[in-house]
Amino acid sequence: MIIDCHGHYTTAPRELHDWRAQQIDGGTASPPVFSDDVLRETIEPNQLRRQTERGIDLTIFSPRAASMGHHLAPAAENERWSRLCNDLVHRVARLYPGRFAGVCQLPQAPGADPADCVPELRRCVEELGFVGCNLNPDPSGGDWAGPPLTDRTWYPLYEAMVELDVPAMIHVSSSDNPNAHTTGAHYLNADTAVFMQLLAGDLFEDFPSLRFVIPHGGGAVPYHWGRFRGLAQNLGRPPLAEHLLGNVFFDTCVYHQPGIDLLTRVLPAGNILFASETFGAVDGTDPESGHAYDDTRRYVEAALAPAQLERVFEGNARSVYPRLPVPQPVRTKEHR
């Protein structure tokens, strides 16, 4: 079975985002209501078709990350927005059982108490059957005005995550900083920055079962693994394998073969989860290979031995996301 740990509802109906824009501008209209048929029209020719073509059985699915927009509205409005987006993800998962597993957007806001996110996390996990959450380490939208993820202000959220036994994917939203393009810089900067925060702190001494997934191959982490090993040594931290790799995992949203080769050589196979972020950051065909940039399955299969592939394609995801359902494998087309 192949589990893609990184999918977003990037094809949600346009009216959803139109309503959010009105909400940000102070609008008070009721949110849009969509029929099941409308949701099917957004999923079947897009994510579901791509999954089937590429032989992916299950996608861990969350609202569109760039649209979380935590910096664009007050906490109360972000809570309303998060509930709406999470409910749509839940409906998609119910329409296609065994093909999508929900991960929730949290109602974060600059300066807001992370504890205020706990009710929505609980609702999504306990009532909607979600398997994790997306955690924005910079709800200011590129200003990095808040405390690092190792700060104790985050602890109430972590306590709930541990109790519920769900991980968080570390994922910023859109950038409000013109110096940092959202997908080309802000995302990758955040991945790298959070790894360094965790390296410099002792978070997992307080939360030994807390689990984070750092997406996009970890940003600069694999490329600068020697730098991080040296910094850990200079800061008096334990070796990275002991200090972080029991709690921190990385996905394969890296869009060329040399990048995946580096990721899989530097990091243990037990810390890598398969992902493609289809209909996400990079669409289109690579003229050098003739294949889609985000067709990461072919890169991973070329980089790993069969025994490692089982862990990366399925086993690691089930360990990190223990609430994942165990459906009957879906018959999919042979990947070519």
**Tens digits of residue pLDDT in 13-28:** 999 999 999 999 999 8
Compute how many other C-beta atoms are within 10 angstroms of the C-beta atom of residue 185.
14
Cα–chain center distance at 29: 30
pLDDT-derived band of residue 38, with 50, 70 and 90 as boundaries? very high
pLDDT-derived band of residue 333, with 50, 70 and 90 as boundaries? very low
Q: Per-residue pLDDT for 327 more than 80?
A: no
Spatial separation of the C-alpha atoms in residues 314 and 1, rounded to whole Å: 6
Which residue is catalytic, options 242, 277, 288, 334? 277
Q: Per-residue pLDDT for 328 more than 60?
A: no
Over pLDDT 90: what percentage of the chain?
94
Q: Which residues pair with 170 in a beta bridge?
A: 135
Residues 208-264 pLDDT 10s: 999 999 999 999 999 999 999 999 999 999 999 999 999 999 999 999 999 999 999
- Residue 331 confidence (pLDDT): 45
pTM value is 0.95
Q: Per-residue pLDDT for 12 more than 50?
A: yes
Q: Backbone phi, then psi, for 147, in 5-degree steps? A: -75, 160
Spatial separation of the C-alpha atoms in residues 240 and 199, rounded to whole Å: 8
Q: Per-residue pLDDT for 100 more than 60?
A: yes
Residues 162-194 pLDDT 10s: 999 999 999 999 999 999 999 999 999 999 999
Residues 133-154 pLDDT 10s: 999 999 999 999 999 999 999 9
- Residue 280 confidence (pLDDT): 82
Q: Which helix (H) or strand (E) holds 76?
A: helix 75-95
Q: Per-residue pLDDT for 336 more than 60?
A: no
Spatial separation of the C-alpha atoms in residues 251 and 215, rounded to whole Å: 5
- Residue 144 confidence (pLDDT): 97
**And the tokens for 223?**
């490329």
Query: Which residues are CB-contacts of 18 (< 8 A; sequence separation ≥ 6)?
Result: 32
Q: Per-residue pLDDT for 207 more than 90?
A: yes
The answer to whether residue 277 is catalytic is yes
Spatial separation of the C-alpha atoms in residues 309 and 299, rounded to whole Å: 11
Across the range 271-279, mean pLDDT stands at 95
- Residue 97 confidence (pLDDT): 96
Over pLDDT 70: what percentage of the chain?
97
